[in-house]
Amino acid sequence: MSLLKKSLLSLLLLSSFFLIASTISINQETQIITEEITFWSEIEHEKLAELLVIRMTDEELLAQIFMFGWAGSEPSPLLLSWIRERALGSVKVFGWNTDNIESVARAVTQTQELSQKNRLKIPLFVATDQEGGWIRHIKGDTSDTPGNLAIGAGGLPIDAYLSGYYISRELRALGINMNFAPTIDLYTNKDSSVIGPRSFGEDAQHSAILGQAFCQGSIDAGIIPTAKHYPGHGDTSDDSHGYLPKINISKEVLLERELVPFKLLISNKVPAIMSGHLSFPEITKSNEPASLSPYFLNKLLREELGYTGLIITDDMMMNGATTYAGSLSRAFQLAIEAGNDIIISSTCPQLNEALWTHNLKRMKENATFNAIVKKAAKKVVYEKLVYFKSDNAVPLYPDIEKIKQNIPDPDGQAFFLDQACRSITLR
């Protein structure tokens, strides 16, 4: 056989091999896309998140980035229908939901059971505000704790760690998997009643160390901590619940002071950060709140500070967000466009339905907005895969019969009393 014929035969065989290999690969890809996939499928996290998002409708994508609360001690029929029919991604437990801790556990069980009846079986993030001190949304038999300023006065990182740990153990017993704590705002403005004792103090480095210790204690107990209120709520006496605070500081001051705790927590892979309804006119040359600002969320937080975790808004029912946006529906739209991954609305069913209609319509009409929602939904699903498939994740269904054994935490009671004593200072 001539050399030319041998070469042609070799090329033919090689081409056939690659054709067969490509066909097998395409068939495998087609099979994995068409076969039944759920959140619990044994596929690598990044790939599974992608496959789940491919299967999601626009309605499911949008619902995945929403976190809603409810009024009363039991989840409302409307909230349950959001989970059942739209696959709502997250729920928030507020103080008005917590007549007793057993009702909280039953509500968590009911909502998670519904999430597992959906076709993709994506579980819910269930969040609350259990900072310690006077911000304690779940009361009842949960531990009385001295709070962050007392931890700061004592000055011991181990106290911050164990506070995060014991608070989180109680949340774990209720089936709550995310805590909007620690508050790492600095007590810069002494007239700040909204932050005040929620802060570890005015020293940026000290607050950073204590905030990181609190986060680690939470993580070790299986709870997702959330650092707040980015980029810093401490240098104002105004309360973003009532109106939009304006903090007149430069970017240089922000980087050297307010952002120091955030930078340390980001370097230690804090899983979630809450964006605050706070404006910084000297930096943005506008009254745009950081929670609705592409500059603060994408440029500064993502690009300059290198943050890769979840960005979650403060409650969008607060006037600090809606006053600027003009309506709750538009505030949600701006929050999504700015780069938040999860957007919170506390209670009002009628407004929730209006914002749903507004943003779903925008998804269907605006390809850029659709892509932003899809990116955020994939981020949320991926972080859920990382969390819920870890060894230390909070079980979906709390053991209601054992709640009284675990709340208040038996070891935590003695610790919090000792910690309160260590916080006493003389001036």
Contact 188, 233 (CB under 8 A): no
Provide the CATH number for the domain formed by 60-422 in this structure. Answer: 3.20.20.300
Is 241 marked active-site?
yes
pLDDT tens-digit map of 243-271:
789 999 999 999 999 999 999 999 999 99
**3-state secondary structure at position 332:** helix
Give one DSSP letter per residue of 68-106, joined into a string: E--SSSS--HHHHHHHHHH---EEEE-GGG-SSHHHHHH
Give the pLDDT score at 6: 56
Catalytic choice (129, 185, 238, 314): 314
Quick one: pLDDT band at residue 320, thresholds 50, 70, 90?
confident
Contact 266, 300 (CB under 8 A): no
| pTM for the full predicted model | 0.91
Q: In whole angstroms, give the CA distance from residue 135 to residue 181.
A: 10
Give the pLDDT score at 242: 55
* 51-74 per-residue burial string, b: 16 or more CB within 10 A, e: under 16: bbbeebeeebbbbbbbbbbbeeee
| Site of tokens 């998670």 | 112
* pLDDT over 90, % of the chain: 79
Give the pLDDT score at 193: 73
Catalytic choice (99, 241, 399, 418): 241
Give first-to-last CA distance, the chain, whole Å. 101
List the structure tokens of 415: 């610790």
Give the pLDDT score at 191: 79
pLDDT tens-digit map of 329-362:
999 999 999 999 999 998 766 678 889 999 999 9
Contact 373, 154 (CB under 8 A): no
* pLDDT over 70, % of the chain: 90
Say if residue 12's pLDDT is above 60.
no
